[in-house]
Every structure is written in C-alpha cells, then in structure tokens.
Amino acid sequence: MRLMVFASRTQKELIRDPLNMAFGLGFPLVVLFLLSAIQANIPVSLFEISQLTPGIAVFGLSFISLFSGTLIAKDRSTSYLLRLFASPLTSTDFILGYTLPLLPMALLQTVICFIAAFFLGLAFSLNLLLALVVMIPAAILYIAIGLLAGSLLTDKQVGGICGALLTNLSAWLSGTWFDLNLVGGGFKAVAYALPFVHAVDAAKAAVAGNYADILPHLWWVMGYAVVIMVLAILAFKKKMNSD
Amino acid sequence: MTAIQTINLTKRFKDKTAVNALNLSIEEGELYALLGVNGAGKTTTIKMLSCLTAPSSGDAILLGDSVVTNPQSVKEKINVSPQETAVARNLTVRENLELIAGIYSFDKKAARTKADEMITAFSLGEVVSAKANTLSGGMQRRLSIAMALISNPKILFLDEPTLGLDVIARRELWSTINKLKGKITIILTTHYMEEAQALSDRIGIMARGELKAVGTADELMAKTGAKTFEDAFIALAADSEVGI
C-alpha cells in the first residue's frame, strides 16, 4: 500500500514534467525521422528502419536515467526526502517506489518508437513483441543507472552525467549512429565491453528473428543491469542513513 | 506519562561531538522548545529523535519504543516538519496531503477526509488544486506543516516552523500550534525568542551539544536574573559557547 502510494507520486512527478516528455519521447523521434530522411536520400544499410529502430529505442531509454536520477537528486537536495525518511516508508518502499513506475514508462517509450517506425516503413511482425521483451533488461539497466546517479550526485551533476555523457555514450558506443567496424580497434573493443551495443544488437536480432543471436548479447545487458542495480541500492541505502 | 526520554543520547561525527550525553524528559501533550545558537546540537538531536540518524551511544525512548532497537515503531507515531519547506513540487495541494496520509496507512477515503480537515484548518481551500511549485513561500510552508499533521502524530517535530513567514502568517501559525497544545507532544526548534516564550510549556537550552538549562521562560529568567527572556537565553547559551 505504502509502496504503491509512493510509486504513484513518482509517476505523477515524472509525467507532469514537460521536459521529460519533450526529451523522452520527442528527441528520439526527431532523431528517428532525421536518420530515416538521410536513409531516403543516401541509402545506408545501417539506417534501414529495421536496423535503426532498435538503436533509437535504446537511445531513448537513456533519458529514463536522466528523469529518475534528477527526481531522486532533487528530492535529496530539498527536505522532502528527509520528511519521507522520517516516515514509515522502508528502504524497499523507496527503491521500488522510485523504479517501478519507470518500467512501464520505458516500455511505453519503446512502443511509441516502434509505432513511429511503422509510419517509416517498419513491417509489423510478432518479432517486434519479442523485441519489446528483449528491451526490458536494457530498461532496467538505465533505471538502475538513474537510481545510482540520483543517490550519489546533485541534480545538476545528474544533468551533466546522465543528460550529456550517458546519452552520448549510448549513441556513440551502441553502433546506432555509425558502424563500429568503421572505427574498429580499441574503440570497438570498449564498445563491446559496455552494455549499450549489446542492448541494440539483442533488439536487432529479435526484430530480424535471429533468435540464437539474442541471448549472447542479452547476458551482457543483464549482467550490467544486476551489478548497477545492486550498487544503486547500496548507494541509496547508505545515503538514507547519512543524509 | 513521559512521551520522550533520552538516556545519555550522544552523537559523534569523527572528532566532533555534536550531542553529548543528553538526558531530557518530555511529558505527553507538552510543547517543548529546544533553543540554542547555530551548531548547538538541536538539529542533530531532532534527527536522532526522529530516527533520521542513529545515535553513536545512548538511547531515546519515544512512547515506549527505542529509536535504536525499534525505529520503525517510532516512525509510526511521529511526524516531522523540516526546516525547509518539504513538498512534492508537481503534485497539487490535495495530492501532497493525501500522499502523506497514504504513506501513514490511511485508506483512500480516510486520506481524503483527513486532507479536507487539513485544507480547512490551514486555509488551503483556494489553492487546493494548484501544484505546490506554484504556491507562495508562505503557502508552501503552511502546506508543509499540514502534511506533518495529517498523520495524527502523537509526537510532532517542528524545526523552525515560522522561518521566512511574514508576521501575519507567523501569528496564524502560532494560533494553529496553540490549538494543538495538550493534544500532541510537540518539540519545537526556533531562533525566535518570542516564539519560544509565547508557545512553549518548557524550554531547553542547548550549547556545545549539551543541555545547559531547562524550565519555563519565567524560570529561566529568574535563574539568570535577566529582565527579558532573550537576555536569559544569551546568558545561558552564549556564555557556554565562549566557555565561561
């Protein structure tokens, strides 16, 4: 009951912030339309809609980290979290209350990205539903990054780390904007040591129906999601006892 | 019956002792003002009593429950109005109130009824559907205190509740606090001497993490031979601060 009350507050705070809507939904769609327009004029296989959509969907999820991190950091910077820490809410209530409302938001964001892609020529198939499922670990990963950042940083720092650095890392190191083979070497090795390109490759494999290629990439994403979520929970609990 | 009993309550931060072996006793229904200059240990004491920070040693018993061994039970009985206004920015006045009621286990119907009571008591009717971030500072403060009262706390911590309020808003809040006297136990911290004098049953003066004196405003004035309560406070708090 308490958890649901608190989760409902998180959801309202996120939905009612117009910047969240503008960046979370608007920006990825603009990029999708822009790269599709480039593809229409100068055909590049990387920007074919079935290749492009999973990458844009993962890129869009990076804004989820920004939203959640900013909300938590703002709560910490005011006395609001102090008031809640003195209430009967437990650490589990806080962590789930901050994270659970983000999961449907992340999935909705992905669905809207796919719907926009239909208008740009993406063919509907059941594989798209599989792709949605495959995106869940990536959504949890980005939610965990937001929880971690919000627990450790100020809201301005969250803006810099999640709003600028993470979104750019998600773009450059995911193989969405350019083929990582074009750079190769250390850059490609670093990209494949991080979860972003794996999240995109898993979703691409799902969209293409290459089922055997999904799990090898998904393990990377799930591994990072679990580790970062554990770190985020530890950081939040530590802050809860020290703020 | 005793509402709050502290037993050698102590908080140390590395090499600094913020609160040193505090022993105080507050009766149920009493309004107890905790005064002291900045850094005297008031806020740390409030944080320990409201389970926001664990004591380094000692204990505090709030209505039979220990802040060390049973903080969750303590949290069910208390509520806090922090020094800064503490509201959810994008929620309306009513949503803020119902949220806190829900967190303290009121069902939806009861939460709505309690919210109506608070809206009336704190004259928030005109802004009930406005988002908190659109309210004036005074209105936000009123809402913040209403949120502290909506859970029917048995012990209420008011940390500088009238800070930043204009004189009319301050008097209105005094009137509200006066109405609560005898019904719930209130711990008030303030830097306004006239506020402590006007509202409290007893006043505790802290300096350097220790409780230097306790009594009514008149008793403290008599003790120091001061003509005003402010002079009495200075005699008790400032002398301790300079080590006289």
Of the given ranges (A27-36, B68-77, B209-218), which has the lowest mean pLDDT?
A: A27-36
Q: CB–CB of A209/A50 below 8 Å?
A: no
By CB atoms closer than 10 A (0-12, 13-18, 19+), residue A165 is exposed
B210: β partners? B207
How far B233 CA sits from the closest chain A CA (Å)? 28
Condensed to tens digits (0 to 9), the pLDDT of residues A191-238 reads 999 999 999 999 999 999 999 999 999 999 999 999 999 999 999 988
Note whether B91 contacts A13, CB cutoff 8 Å: yes
H helical segments located in chain A: 2-15, 18-21, 27-41, 49-77, 80-85, 91-99, 102-119, 126-152, 155-158, 167-172, 180-183, 185-193, 195-208, 214-242
Count of C-beta atoms within a 10 Å radius of residue B241: 16
Q: Identity (one letter) of the amino acid at A144?
A: A
- pLDDT score for B123: 87
Which comes out higher in pLDDT, residue B114 or A119?
A: B114
Q: Choosing among B52, B83, B98, B144, which should be mutated to test the A contact, i.e. which has the most A CBs within 10 A?
A: B52
pLDDT band at B239 (very low <50, low <70, confident <90, very high): low
Q: CB–CB of A14/A71 below 8 Å?
A: yes
> For B75, which of A78, A86, A243 is closest by C-beta distance?
A86
Note whether A78 contacts B90, CB cutoff 8 Å: no
Q: How many residues does chain B have?
A: 244
pLDDT band at B242 (very low <50, low <70, confident <90, very high): very low
> For B75, which of A16, A78, A88 is closest by C-beta distance?
A88
pTM: 0.84
Note whether B87 contacts A89, CB cutoff 8 Å: no
Q: Which residue of A has its CA nearest to B53?
A: A241
User: What whole-number distance in Å separates Cα of residue A230 and Cα of residue A232?
Assistant: 5
> By C-alpha distance, which of B39, B42, B7 is closest to B24?
B7
Note whether B95 contacts A16, CB cutoff 8 Å: no
Residues of B in Cβ contact (< 8 Å) with A9: 88, 91, 95, 99
Query: Which A-chain residues 7-46 have CB contacts (< 8 A) with chain B?
Result: 8-9, 12-13, 16-17
Q: Is the dihedral of CA B79, B80, B81, B85 positive or negative?
A: negative
Under DSSP, is residue B80 helix (H, G, I), strand (E, B) or coil? strand
User: What whole-number distance in Å separates Cα of residue B238 and Cα of residue B117?
Assistant: 42
Q: Choosing among B103, B114, B157, B187, which should be mutated to test the A contact, i.e. which has the most A CBs within 10 A?
A: B103
By CB atoms closer than 10 A (0-12, 13-18, 19+), residue B175 is exposed
Which contiguous run of DSSP H or E holds residue B35? strand B31-35
* Percent above pLDDT 90 for chain B: 71
Q: How many residues does chain A have?
A: 243
List, in order, residues 6 or more apart from A89 with CB less than 8 Å away.
A2, A6, A97, B103
Q: Identity (one letter) of the amino acid at A86?
A: A
ipTM over 0.85? The verdict is: yes
A5 touches chain B (CB under 8 A): yes
- pLDDT score for A42: 78
Q: Choosing among A17, A80, A239, A240, which should be mutated to test the B contact, i.e. which has the most B CBs within 10 A?
A: A80
> For A79, which of B75, B82, B104 is closest by C-beta distance?
B82
Q: CB–CB of A28/A57 below 8 Å?
A: yes
Q: Choosing among A15, A79, A93, A96, which should be mutated to test the B contact, i.e. which has the most B CBs within 10 A?
A: A79
> For B76, which of A12, A85, A88 is closest by C-beta distance?
A88
| Residue B8, CA atoms < 13 Å, CB-side half-sphere | 3
Condensed to tens digits (0 to 9), the pLDDT of residues B178-236 reads 888 889 999 999 989 999 999 999 999 999 999 999 999 999 999 999 999 999 999 98
Q: CB–CB of B101/B115 below 8 Å?
A: yes
Count of C-beta atoms within a 10 Å radius of residue A170: 27
By CB atoms closer than 10 A (0-12, 13-18, 19+), residue B70 is middle
Q: CB–CB of A52/A39 below 8 Å?
A: yes
Q: Identity (one letter) of the amino acid at B185?
A: T
| Residues A183-213 as b or e (16 or more Cβ within 10 Å = b) | eeeeebeebbeebbbbbbbbbbbbbbeeeee
Q: CB–CB of B200/B217 below 8 Å?
A: yes
Q: Which residue of B has its CA nearest to A15?
A: B90
